[in-house]
Amino acid sequence: MSSLLTHPAPVLALGVALGLRRIPIRLFMVAVVFSLLPDFDAIGFRLGISYASWLGHRGFSHSLSFALLCGAFCAWIAPWLKASRLLSGTVAFLAVASHIALDALTNGGLGVAVFWPFSDARHFFPWQPIQVSPLSLKAFFTTHKGTRVIASELHWVWLPLMLFAFTCRAFMRRKR
């Protein structure tokens, strides 16, 4: 998996690119949470749920079906988010889908159940440049693995996304 530090990066880039006038702060904050939500399935390890199970890590909660459910939920609560139903649903869907994509770009684990419930198969992208993050916080912060993960995520996720976001922002300002 990508680290919990990096999963919000696409949402943050979207916020920088479009600005908080286009994405209300409530929707933005919910989208940040939703970008992390799929990894709550890691609690399954403590509950004895097998990693390979549809309820296991990178199972149902890492599927496009789950992303659609999250999008539908945010479309339903759109008035509270102070945004249109279309914007709320789309941003929430993209927040979860970005989590799925980032995990499919990592170089470890069993893959991502992108197409569950239609298929139990786990998938990666053919290109996997992101160093997989250890599931343990202790391993992340006390070994060189954490340093390698951060370096990989800065190179392959944060820098390209921020370059894209600030370019979009500059283009939008110039257009005004």
Mean pLDDT of the chain, nearest integer: 93
User: Residue 92's pLDDT band (boundaries 50, 70, 90)?
Assistant: very high
DSSP states of 100-164: HHHHHTBSSSS-B-TTTTT----B--S---BPPPPS-HHHHHHSHHHHHHHHHHIIIIIHHHHHH
pLDDT: which is higher, 175 or 53: 53
Confidence at residue 1, expressed as pLDDT on a 0 to 100 scale: 66
To the nearest 10°, report the CA torsion of 38, 105, 115, 75. Answer: 50
pTM beyond cutoff 0.85: yes
What is the rounded distance in angstroms from the CA atom of residue 140 to the CA atom of residue 68?
A: 31
Q: Is the pLDDT of residue 90 over 90?
A: yes
Residues 4-43 have pLDDT tens digits of 899 999 999 999 998 878 999 999 999 999 999 999 998 9
Mean pLDDT, rounded, for 66-71: 98
Confidence at residue 19, expressed as pLDDT on a 0 to 100 scale: 85
Helix (H, G, I), strand (E, B) or coil at 74: helix
pLDDT: which is higher, 174 or 10: 10
Question: Residue 152 pairs with which residues in a beta bridge?
Answer: none
Q: What percent of the chain has pLDDT over 70?
A: 99
Phi-psi region of 134 (alpha: psi -120 to 50; beta: other; left: phi over 0): beta
Distances (CA, A) of 95 to 17, 31, 62, 72, 139: 15, 6, 12, 13, 26
Q: What percent of the chain has pLDDT over 90?
A: 74
Distances (CA, A) of 2 to 35, 79, 84, 106, 148: 11, 32, 30, 7, 12
Confidence at residue 137, expressed as pLDDT on a 0 to 100 scale: 73
Q: Is the pLDDT of residue 175 over 90?
A: no
